[in-house]
Amino acid sequence: MEKTSVLDERKDFILYKQDGCNGNGMKCDANSVSGSVSQRACVYCGARVVLNPITDAFHIVHGPIGCASYTWDIRGSLSSGEDLYRNSFSTDLREQDIIFGGEKKLTAAIEEIAEKYHPKLIFVYATCIVGVIGDDVEAVCKMMSNKYNMSVIPVKSPGFSGNKSVGYKMACNAIMDLISKQKPAEKKGVNILGDFNLAGEMWIIKDYLKKIGIPVVAAFTGDSCYESLMKSPNAELNIVQCAGSSTYLANRMEEEMGIPYIKVSFFGIEDTTSSLIRIAEALKDEEARRKAIQFTETETKKLEDFLSKYRRNLEGKKAAIYVGGGFKAISLIRQFKSLGLETVVVGTQTGKKDDYEVIESLVNKDTVILDDTNPAELEKFMKEKGADILVGGVKERPLAYKLGIAFCDHNHERKHPLCGFDGVINFTKEINMSINNPVWKYLQEVL
């Protein structure tokens, strides 16, 4: 088959799966190639999506008003309490501030929030222009923390300082700045890292852990609050769902607090089952392990008839996947396989070498694997491979519709949970409704 032409500098980021795994791997975890329209957001946005779900935190965007357009809407995480996090605050830097510096404006913004709302926690994001003019954001935050006896944490996130993964790292550093001052008490239970309570998914995971008798100390960061985060050093184990955003935090917590971690995924029956059992095993809790096996067997059995009914509609269809991190791509490949779909194109924005090795081991020969792709490549590979559906986020949706193929939103904007056993039902129904919608047939006739 004729290979699609791509920019020379991009070729190392693309792999056609060969027989077995060729072991050469592919390039990933690097800055985007100039001239290639990356689907990644900037460093600041990466930091913001990780920290925004902390429900009682104030988020001050130190920069021009445009940066502040990344708000709660970019990650619709739900809250069981406070809704402060749905507000955005900006220092709205203008030309004069760029010339004379923005520190006074930042100080005034923090003072206004401190005096009006008496917060416990403020994050101050340093954006591109702040990195250029050199405001000492750290010094201002320190001064304000002392003056008001609250935590004002700087997040070093100028957009030009790297890629979205750097933003994740900066958010993890900000969290460590906050929690590392805590002295741990007796260790018990787990912290959940890398789940953002989209459509209430954190509540589903917590409910499963409760059913098997494992207490949750803190969640990073879905439906979390200042008080719960400060208890996180007391956990026995960290479980990491979104590895792309939170492995760095897990590593720091292991090194500095002695909390080990395991990577998990709650997408699909196979990964949900193995994650619950592995958590119990990592805690050496035999009773929890027994309950996890029993619970997952019961839930899997309940889904058998449902899945076999839908499998008849989906067998033989081809899927393309383009998501943020490797863990989700891996779970989606497994989920599609269980529904009878073949993954023919798969890529991520921030996948790491070990993620791509697992992806390569799961897909069939000739599957296209992409790191940090652009819309043109995605379009060409989906056409070449005859994909029937694309799973991605808001930036990929128009591309699928333009090509006249089905789409499933598996990103921050979705309104129904896709994780756990409950999520399997939603996911299967959505894939079926989208892929078997008669509209695609009519569209193909006019395209």
| Site residues (vs ligand SF4, CB under 6 A) | 42, 44, 63, 67, 127-128, 159
Helix (H, G, I), strand (E, B) or coil at 219: strand
CA nearest to 159, candidates 61, 44, 70: 44
Q: Cα(285)–Cα(279) distance, rounded to whole angstroms? A: 9
- The least CB distance from residue 87 to ligand SF4, in Å, is 18
User: Taking the complex as a whole, how short is the minimal distance between the CB of residue 65 and ligand SF4, in angstroms?
Assistant: 10
Is 369:300 a contact under the CB 8 Å cutoff? no
The two three-digit tokens of residue 107, written as one number: 């100080």
Using CA atoms, how far apart are residues 13 and 49, in angstroms rounded to an integer? 25
Q: How far is the CB of 129 from ligand SF4 (least distance, A)?
A: 7
Which is nearer to ligand SF4, 159 or 324 (by Cβ)?
159
What does R_g of the chain's alpha carbons equal in angstroms?
22
CB of 169 to ligand SF4, least distance (A): 15
Minimum CB–partner distance for residue 232 and ligand SF4 (Å): 28
* 171 vs 202, beta carbon nearer ligand SF4: 171
Q: Which of 260, 265, 216 is nearest to 243 (CA)?
A: 265
The residue of the chain with the least Cβ separation from ligand SF4 equals 159
Question: C-beta of 170: minimal distance to ligand SF4 in Å?
Answer: 11
- Taking the complex as a whole, the smallest distance from the CB of residue 130 to ligand SF4 amounts, in Å, to 9
Taking the CB of residue 180, how many other CB atoms lie within 10 A of it? 12
Residue placing its CB nearer to ligand SF4 in the complex, 168 or 440: 168
Residue 371: closest CA among 31, 8, 144, 18: 31
- On whether the CB atoms of residues 328 and 244 are closer than 8 A, the answer is no
Exposure of 305 by Cβ count < 10 A (0-12 exposed, 13-18 middle, 19+ buried)? exposed
Dist. CA 404–CA 447, nearest whole Å: 8
DSSP state of 284: T
Task: Show Cβ contacts of residue 125 under 8 Å, excluding neighbours closer than 6 positions.
Answer: 44, 47, 48, 59, 60, 61, 62, 63, 67, 155, 157
Give the total residue count for the chain. 447
C-beta of 45 vs 321, nearer to ligand SF4: 45
Closer residue to ligand SF4 in complex, CB, 167/233: 167
3-state secondary structure of 295: helix
Our CB check for ligand SF4 shows the closer of 30 and 132 to be 132
CB closer to ligand SF4 out of 127 and 434? 127
Q: Which is nearer to ligand SF4, 159 or 423 (CB)?
A: 159
Compare residues 128 and 192 and give the one whose CB is closer to ligand SF4. Answer: 128
- In whole angstroms, the minimum distance from the beta carbon of 50 to ligand SF4 comes to 15
* Structural contact between residues 52 and 85, judged by C-beta atoms closer than 8 angstroms: yes
Q: How far is the CB of 127 from ligand SF4 (least distance, A)?
A: 4
